[in-house]
Amino acid sequence: MNVQRPAPTATPPIRPDLRHVAEMVTPGARVLDIGCGDGALLKLLADEKGVDGRGIEIKQEGVNACVANGLSVIQGDADLDLAYYPDRSFDFAVLSLTLQATRDPRQVLLDLVRIGRRAIVSFPNFGHWRVRWSLLVGGRMPTTATLPDAWWSTQNIHLCTIDDFVDLADRLGITVERKLALDSHGQPIKLSAFANCMGETGVFLLRKG
Amino acid sequence: MTTATRLSTITSAEELARLRATLPGHRFVIPADDPLPLDCGVSLGPVTVAYQTYGTLNAERSNAVLVCHALTGDQYCAEDHPITGKPGWWLTVIGPGKAIDTDRYFVICANVIGGCMGSTGPSDPDPATGRPYGLDFPVITIADMVRSQVRLIDHLGIDRLFAVIGGSMGAMQVLQWAVDYPDRVFAAVPIAGAAYHTAQNIAFHEVGRQAILADPDWCGGRYLEHDISPRRGLSVARMTAHVTYLSETALHRKFGRNLQNRKELSFGFDADFQVESYLRHQGSTFVDRFDANAYLYITRAMDYFDLAAEHGGVLGKAFEGTRVRFCLISFTSDWLFPTAESRKIVHALNAVAANVSFVEIESDKGHDAFLLDEPEFFRVLDGFLKGCAEHAGLAEAGS
């Protein structure tokens, strides 16, 4: 007997860095996702890891979409609203592709490792060879897949390289527990010596002290 | 079905009692031998709580949604009003397949105590004298309103409400519920609300109250015994308040400087402008359905509301350890209960790591937006409740 199964409902592909962020989260954890966008990571974590998730998103359309999908999300700003959260109130504080758009990345990082027992941060690596090439040869502000906007319209005001980030974490007394550099296909780069040059996105698992 | 009688044409206590008796809906009486303790120190009893329900309470009694009405609202939220004949004030939100889905939830809406639509208020007879209470009615608070609702919920055999939802003064009741009875609320949705009444809000209420008190027909609050009603005072109170529910953009769009049924200015004090005519109409229709003393008492209850004050001035303490799932909703053009006030509550909830969602809806319709057609608001409320229902293990509609 030939039973036709209904086609699985199509879900949009998840951003590669979010897939790696999700892998770092332990099942059943309490997670605060800062800059949660349309809630893709929160949804993934709820569905696959039974996570108790909350989100903060600056754009109203994103917040409305999240809440309308049953996710607990507030409209807020990483630069302004993290101060209200108590110490160690979450197992993980996640900041994905948002650090470079904050006004005070140092304070945001300190808040992340204060609010979460662990923090997970992903950011576009400005040390990626395409960026270097674009500036070196083209002599123009780089626009790439992870940095698509022109210099005059970008939200990204605090870009850094993977090595810069490691250096700042060290200065702030933040321990890097795991460090991933993802290539343009979202695959981790095996040799860490090439991470700063070959990685398009950095994903870090951090803790205080 | 509309009863022919309007509150404004009633000028005696007996007539009012007759109208009350004909109002449709349920009645629950808090008995005199187990009275309701009020914040002012008085115990009030007997107290009637008039309420309406929509939908069906499930076998587990777990699908009840308490809807809390605003200052001039009442329990007829999802049906035609028995006095005005107008559609229920939240028919946009409550009903089969709507955000508060009556196919899934059992909706309860009670007239607040101190009100004038069947629940005990200042126009009811004082058992001590047989005369209408008038100003002998004790000053009630938002917490007192909630206490009376708790007694109603007890009476209905409901341990925990699935959700408590309300806008404006309804939002105050929602917050009070969540703070005072956190174990009896699964989800709380305060809409266009605040954790306290601001100086500006108190100021507008005071203007309204003074208009009523200055009307000679108010008679020191004993107008029912003099067979009159302070129509002019209550009407001015409503006109003032109504402006605060709108926005400059909404007023401009609706009326601009358009003249009312005339081509030129009259050089007099008739309603030359459409906006004047509109406000006069709002005032005069309001007195047809509302009691002046009830207006004094309920505005006072709102003025006294200050959640943080009850918790050493720190709002976060009011919510410590709460497991209630919150969804705060505000509207961009609401200047009476602005987004900043909702955000203060969100910050207090964040400070205790509570489960909170917060959405600001883009609207130019002012405070009244929560009563109007705002599809984005409906979508958010619907999504939040469905998400909560899943967490609470409530069966889906029709299953």
- The Cα-based distances of B276 to A178, B270, B272 in angstroms read 68, 9, 7
How many other CB atoms are found less than 10 A from the CB of residue A192? 13
Phi, psi of A61 (to 5 degrees): -60, -40
B397 in any annotated domain: no
For residue B393, which residues of chain A lie inside 8 Å, CB to CB?
none
For residue A14, give the amino acid letter: I
As separate numbers, helices (DSSP H) first and strands (DSSP E) second, chain B gives 11, 12
Q: Which of A72, A85, A90, A114 to mutate to test the interface with B (most CBs of B within 10 A)?
A: A72
In a domain, residue B295? The reply is yes
Q: What percentage of chain A carries pLDDT values higher than 70?
A: 94
Domain boundaries, chain A: 16-126+158-208
Structural domain includes residue B335: yes
- B110-151: pLDDT as tens digits: 999 999 999 999 999 999 999 999 999 999 999 999 999 999
Strand partners, A116: A90
Shortest CA gap B396–chain A (Å): 14
High-pLDDT (> 90) share of chain B, %: 91
C-beta separation of B364 from B247 below 8 A: yes
> What span, in angstroms and rounded, lies between the C-alpha atoms of B159 and B68?
18
Same-domain status, B140 and B53 = yes
Q: Does A76 touch chain B (CB under 8 A)?
A: yes
Beta strands of chain A (E only): which ranges? Answer: 30-34, 52-57, 72-75, 90-96, 116-124, 174-182, 201-208
Q: How far is A156 from chain B (nearest CA, A)?
A: 25
Measure the N-to-C terminal CA separation of chain B; round to a whole number of Å.
Answer: 32
| Minimum distance, in Å, between the CA of residue A5 and any CA atom of chain B | 23
* Best residue of B332, B357, B380 to probe chain A, by most A CBs closer than 10 Å: B357
The whole-number average pLDDT for the span A137-161 is 93
pLDDT digits over B248-259, tens only? Answer: 999 999 999 999
What sections of chain A are H helices per DSSP? 16-24, 40-49, 60-68, 78-81, 105-115, 129-133, 162-171, 195-198
Asked if B357 and A67 come within 8 Å (Cβ–Cβ), the reply is yes
Distance of CA A8 to the CA centre of its chain: 28
Q: Do residues B273 and B238 both lie within one domain?
A: yes
| B231 annotated as belonging to a binding site for a ligand | no
Same domain, B55 and B31: yes
Q: How confident is the model at residue A10 (pLDDT cuts 50, 70, 90)?
A: low
> Does residue B233 share a domain with residue B98?
no
Torsion region of A204: left, alpha or beta (phi above 0 gives left; psi -120 to 50 gives alpha): beta
A91, A116 Cβ separation under 8 angstroms? yes
> What mean pLDDT comes out for the span A145-167?
95
Q: Which residues of A touch B347 (CB under 8 A)?
A: 81, 84
Q: Residue A74 and residue B355: Cβ atoms within 8 Å? A: no
**What are the chain B neighbours of A68 within 8 Å (beta carbons)?**
379-380, 382-384
C-beta neighbour count of B28 within 10 angstroms: 18
- Best A43, A75, A87, A92 member to test B by mutation, with max B CBs in 10 Å, is A75
B179 shares its domain with B245: no
Residue B2 in domain: no
pLDDT at B14: 76
Tell whether B33 and B96 lie within a shared domain. yes
Query: Do the Cβ atoms of A190 and A183 come closer than 8 Å?
Result: no
pLDDT band at A145 (very low <50, low <70, confident <90, very high): confident
Q: Which pair of structure tokens corresponds to residue B290? A: 């509302």
> Are residues B212 and B135 part of one domain?
no
Specify whether B109 is located in the same domain as B189: yes
What would the mean pLDDT of A54-73 be, rounded to a whole number? Answer: 94
What is the C-alpha separation between B337 and B360, in angstroms, rounded?
12
CB atoms within 10 A of CB B269: 7
At which of B299, B319, B349 does a domain end? B299
Give the pLDDT score at B22: 87
For residues B184 and B289, membership in a common domain is answered with no
Please determine, for residue B4, whether its predicted confidence score (pLDDT) is greater than 50. Answer: no
Report, as an integer, the average pLDDT of B313-340.
Answer: 97
Return left, alpha or beta for B321; rule: phi > 0 is left, psi -120 to 50 is alpha, else beta.
left
By DSSP bridging, strand A201-208 and strand A174-182 are antiparallel
Q: CATH number of the domain at A16-126+158-208, out of 3.40.50.150, 3.40.50.720, 3.40.30.10, 3.90.79.10?
A: 3.40.50.150
E strand spans, chain B: 26-30, 36-37, 43-44, 47-54, 64-68, 94-95, 100-101, 106-110, 161-167, 185-191, 325-331, 355-361
Contacts A–B by Cβ distance under 8 A: 65
Q: Is B234 exposed, middle or buried (0-12, 13-18, 19+ CB in 10 A)?
A: buried
Residue B248 and residue B341 in one domain: no
Last residue of a domain, one of B299, B329, B353: B299
Domain that holds residue B282: 202-299
Hey, are the CB atoms on A70 and B325 less than 8 Å from each other? no
- Among A74, A86, A90, select the one facing B357 at the smallest CB separation: A74
Yes or no, beta carbons of B351 and A69 under 8 Å apart: no
CA-to-CA dists, residue A147 to A101, A150, A162, B118, B137, angstroms:
12, 8, 15, 63, 67
Residues of A in contact with B362 (CB under 8 A): 60
Last residue of a domain, one of B278, B299, B320: B299
Q: What is the CATH number of the domain that holds B362?
A: 3.40.50.1820
Both tokens of residue A116? 């979460």
Residue of B35, B25, B34 whose CA lies nearest to B74: B25
* Domain shared by B25 and B162, yes or no: yes
Give pLDDT tens digits for B229-288. 999 999 999 999 999 999 999 999 999 999 999 999 999 999 999 999 999 999 999 998
Decide if A86 and B351 are in contact by the 8 Å CB cutoff.
yes
CATH number, position B217:
1.10.1740.110
CA-to-CA distance for B116 and B109, rounded, in angstroms? Answer: 14
**Which residue(s) pair with B95 in the sheet?**
B101
Q: Report how far residue B377's alpha carbon sits from residue B191's, in angstroms, rounded to the nearest whole number.
A: 10
Q: Which residues of B are catalytic?
A: 168, 334, 367
Find chain A residues with C-beta within 8 A of B325's C-beta: 72
Does the pLDDT at position B8 exceed 90? no
Tell me whether residue B98 is in a domain.
Answer: yes
d(CA B113, CA A66): 37
* Model pLDDT for residues B70-119, shown as the tens digit of each residue: 999 999 999 999 989 999 999 999 999 999 999 999 999 999 999 999 99
Asked if B318 and B311 count as a contact pair (C-beta separation under 8 A), the reply is: yes
For residue A181, the distance in angstroms to the closest alpha carbon of chain B comes to: 32
